[in-house]
Amino acid sequence: MRRAHLMMQLEQVGPSGHALAMSLLGNTDDAADVLQDAVATVLNVRSFDASKGTFKAWFLAVVRNRCIDVMRQRRRRPEVDIESVDTAAEADDDPEAVAASDEMAHIVKRELAQLSPEHREILILREFLDLGYAEIGKVLDVPPGTVMSRLHRARSALADRVRSYG
Amino acid sequence: MDDDCASVDELLSGYLDGELTQKDRQRVDRHIEGCSKCTARLRELESISTSVGKLRADMNQEDREQWRKVMDNALERTASGIGWVLVVGAVFVLVGYAGYEFLLADVEPPLVKWAVGALYLGLAVLLLSVLRQRLKARKTDRYKDVEI
Ligand SMILES: [Zn+2]
């Protein structure tokens, strides 16, 4: 029954894990592999230790660690373009999507994909997944003060890029 | 940007997110009341934050779909794992029973008994070597002792 309970908790946080993996890897296949691994890890753990924070923060930290493994592997394999790690999450230029969303949203989407993985992930954690600073700190394994300054730098970097469109 | 503006700027994201201490929040409140530059900066950060948040809607859908696929995949693997356990278990029981019956039966010539015995022994050796390799592969699996 422990497993059934874990599965239920997983169902709730899974899509967030995918959002984080996509923001870091920018590739559906890699994100799926990472999530597959993360699910296996979670199901192998005896019980979730609540002193580590929320289940969501813990799961996202597992996902993030796997993503970092994948990014390191890509860097080790020279045939893979390192730049693709940073730009792979580039927004689709599907003309219909462009027309449907407003231009600002399109610019923000494209510029978000151009940020460093460090900045992109913290923006995803905050703006997409609605995590508080304490929870983000658990995911990234940094103190809340660092979360605040890093998030501020990430927003500033994105604002600078968007501003250049005037 | 003068010193006061610079030190307030660092607090603006925390201010937006309601993550400042009361003291810092009041400090920002007091400062932006008289500083149009920092007020404009706050609005800019707020609009960036809102714009990123808006992208969430279409991504959410995609994330849920992809997550569904991952979970279906995991369930499928569990189901096929159970299937294999059942099949292998049943084969073991049947083969064991057949071997036992065969041993007790009177079969002529005795060479056939030897041949069947050798067949069983061979199968057992093959099975053990596969198991050994599996265990070895598992030991070198870098995900086994992952720290979380
Ligand atoms: Zn100011």
Strands (E), chain A: none
Domain A2-74 falls under CATH 1.10.1740.10: yes
Residue A144 touches chain B, beta carbons under 8 Å: yes
Token output for B84: 């294999």
Q: Does the residue B85 lie in any domain?
A: yes
Question: What would the pLDDT profile of B51-107 be if each residue is shown by its tens digit?
Answer: 898 887 767 788 888 888 888 887 777 788 888 889 989 988 998 888 888 777 776
Task: Note the pLDDT of residue A88.
Answer: 39
Q: Is residue B122 part of a domain?
A: yes
Q: Are residue B41 and residue B87 in the same domain, yes or no?
A: no
The number of distinct structural domains making up chain B is: 2
Compute how many other C-beta atoms are within 10 angstroms of the C-beta atom of residue B31: 18
Q: What is the pLDDT of residues A65-96, one digit of tens each?
A: 999 999 888 877 654 444 444 443 444 555 55
Only one residue has tokens 């057992």, namely B124
Give the structural domain span for B32: 3-54
* pLDDT tens digit sequence for A13-46: 999 999 999 989 988 899 999 999 999 888 887 6
> Is residue B48 domain-shared with residue B91, that is, in the same domain?
no
pTM for the structure as a whole: 0.69
Q: What are the extents of the domains in chain A?
A: 2-74, 88-163
User: Which of A106, A112, A127, A153 to probe the B interface (max B CBs under 10 A)?
Assistant: A127
Say whether B10 and A36 touch across the interface (CB within 8 A): no
**A15/B64 CB distance under 8 A:** yes
Q: Using CB atoms within 10 A of its CB, is residue A84 exposed (0-12), middle (13-18) or buried (19+)? A: middle
Q: Is residue B67 part of a domain?
A: no
> Is the domain covering A88-163 a CATH 1.10.10.10 domain?
yes
Report pLDDT for B138: 67
What would the two tokens of residue B61 be? 């859908």
Q: Are residues B48 and B89 in the same domain?
A: no
ipTM above 0.85, yes or no: no
pLDDT of residue A118: 93
B44 and B92, same domain (yes or no): no
CA distance A111 to A47: 40
Instruction: Please indicate, yes or no, if residue B133 is contained in any of the structural domains.
Output: yes
Residue B112 lies in a domain: yes
